[in-house]
Amino acid sequence: MKKILEKMGFEGALSLLVLIAYGILAVYDSNRLENALSTLAGLTARIVPILLLVFGVMFLTNLFFESNALVRFLGKESGYRGWMLAIAGGIVSSGPIYMWYPLLSDLKERGMKDSLIAAFLYNRAVKIPLLPMMVYYFGWNFALVLSIYMVLFSVADGILVQSLMRKGTEG
């Protein structure tokens, strides 16, 4: 297993496992395979605009910002301004969480603190456009109280994650 992982890399092994799972489904249940492929097509169609947006943001940060400028806003010395940026960025960013991994990975390499990455990802859960839907199912009070706790606890999440990390930028 270790040898396979070394040879293919983890991403190769992951892709292979997923393909095997689809292969098994193709053999035993073609109807479900069809459903899975149609879900996949729907998901892909939904994420393409987000991928383009992420690509655009990455391109602009690469074009305009020196690493040291980014570190000043999102690194060790960023202070409350860094938290505000991470929280606001997480709330306004749209699309699935994993679409933002490439950008965050890029920013992490350039000095973004782990605590701020965690806070950004946590605030991805606060979805303003989806609030009416939450209100419809659970009421205004619930939606408001939960959203406030989510934002507050995103900071706790960031601090705890940073403290659990031995490596990485100190937070």
Partner 1 sequence: MALRKNWKAPKDAFSQTGRAFRKSLPILVSVLMLLALADTLIPKQAYRRIFTGNELLDPLMGAVIGSFSGGNPITSYIIGGELRQQGIGMLAITAFLVAWVTVGIIQLPAEALMLGKRFAIARNAVSFCLSIVIAVLTVLTLGMTG
Give residues 56-115 in contact with partner 1 (rule: CB under 8 A).
58-59, 62-66, 68-69, 72-73, 96-99, 101-102, 104-106, 108, 114
Cβ(116)–Cβ(78) under 8 Å? yes
Which position among 87, 124, 169, 171 is part of the footprint of partner 1 (CB under 8 A)?
124
Shortest distance, CB of residue 79 to partner 1, whole angstroms? 15
Which positions ≥6 away from 50 have C-beta within 8 Å? 94, 95, 96, 99
x/- map, 10-29, partner 1, by CB under 8 A: xxx-xx--x--xx--x----
Which positions ≥6 away from 21 have C-beta within 8 Å? none
Which position among 4, 23, 39, 77 is part of the footprint of partner 1 (CB under 8 A)?
39
Q: Percent helix, strand and coil across the chain, each rounded to 5? A: 85, 0, 15
Which position among 74, 78, 122, 169 is part of the footprint of partner 1 (CB under 8 A)?
122
CA distance 15 to 145: 40
Which position among 4, 48, 128, 142 is part of the footprint of partner 1 (CB under 8 A)?
142
